[in-house]
Copies of this chain bind each other. A is one copy, B any other.
Amino acid sequence: MAVRAAVAGASGYAGGELLRLLLAHPEVGIGALTGNSNAGQWLGALQPHLLPLADRILEPTTAQALAGHDVVFLALPHGQSAAVAEQLGPDVLVVDMGADFRLRDAADWEAFYGSPHAGTWPYGLPELPGARAALEGTRRVAVPGCYPTAVSLALFPAYAASLAEPEAVIVAASGTSGAGKAAKPHLLGSEVMGSMSPYGVGGGHRHTPEMIQNLGAVAGEPVSVSFTPTLAPMPRGILATCTAKARPGVSAESVRAAYEKAFADEPFVHLLPEGQWPATASVHGSNAVQIQVAYDAAAGRIIAISAIDNLAKGTAGGAVQSMNIALGLDETTGLTTIGVAP
């Protein structure tokens, strides 16, 4: 275990999932675990599913605690990563699971997050054109948002092959863990079980500019995105239904071909056989992405649908995948494409 990793924010859902994956990673040893309000507590009480770490106690999140590791994962509230990263030095691999370094456009950042822009780091979605190369050897990684992961993977092949007009309409359903572990009344089990509801409608969700950035970069022109997230009665998983108007001349065959080409060599993206559709249960706990695409000739639209585990490929799995690339390990080390179902 050559690589020693620290996790800042180990008591939340992203931190817990990251630890679950790191425990199974053959090259990583788990070092400091820090928290904020939960510092001083046993991890066994906070993350009772992580039995091998039950006896660990959370330290406060400080640069001292995080120093001396090869990799530091930051699962911190928005706006706090830059200060921590600065103190860690340029040789430490810092993997930010928050939003701070995802956006290239400072104005976008300020409009959606209301604070000064901290900068832009290599973007941890290796399947995007050009992204993998930028991650090799880097010491800074911005892990994508969970929705942008699902949406960008579902739609970029259509834009890469110039099959779609630059107007995407996306509706995604997310499990409740995407909303985090802070106790809020609308996230109570009594409220969410048996219910579907939207939020952040009309362009307000902070993941929207990230989708626009990703798709626009592939399309080579600005892409407008109408994005509606919905909260689904399940703990995990994102199902993203992504549609775009087809360009003239598009056919079911050309769409299929573009997607087959885009994912031919991707270890984690599984373009399903025709006729089979993604289900979030199939990727529960795994780093796999299930994708299927259809061309609706009557409506003139391409419909690409992806299923991911929001905590795995959508957060912690994506973080580990990017870490592997940055460190020169095999990209799939410690990650699985096998879901826990039913």
Nearest residue (CB) in B for A234 is: B194
Q: How many copies does the complex hold?
A: 4
Residues on the B chain within 8 Å of A298, using CB: 203, 224
Provide the A219-239 mask, 1 if CB < 8 A to any CB of B, else 0.
000001111101011111101
Residues on the B chain within 8 Å of A225, using CB: 299
* A192 to B: closest C-beta gap in Å: 4
Residues on the B chain within 8 Å of A175, using CB: 190, 194
Q: How far is the CA of A276 from the CA of B298 in the complex (A)?
A: 34
- The reply on A106 being an interface residue by CB < 8 A is no
Q: How far is the CA of A300 from the CA of B225 in the complex (A)?
A: 9
- The reply on A63 being an interface residue by CB < 8 A is no
Q: How far is the CA of A206 from the CA of B237 in the complex (A)?
A: 27
Q: Is the CB of B303 within 8 A of A226?
A: yes
11 contacts between A and B (CB under 8 A): A47-B341, A51-B270, A171-B228, A176-B190, A183-B187, A189-B192, A194-B237, A194-B284, A235-B341, A285-B340, A340-B340
Binding site for B on A (CB under 8 A): 13, 16, 20, 23-24, 42, 44-45, 47-52, 54, 167, 169, 171, 173, 175-177, 179, 181-185, 187-199, 201-203, 224-228, 230, 232-237, 239, 241, 243, 245, 270, 272-273, 276-286, 288, 290, 292, 294-301, 303, 305, 307, 336-342
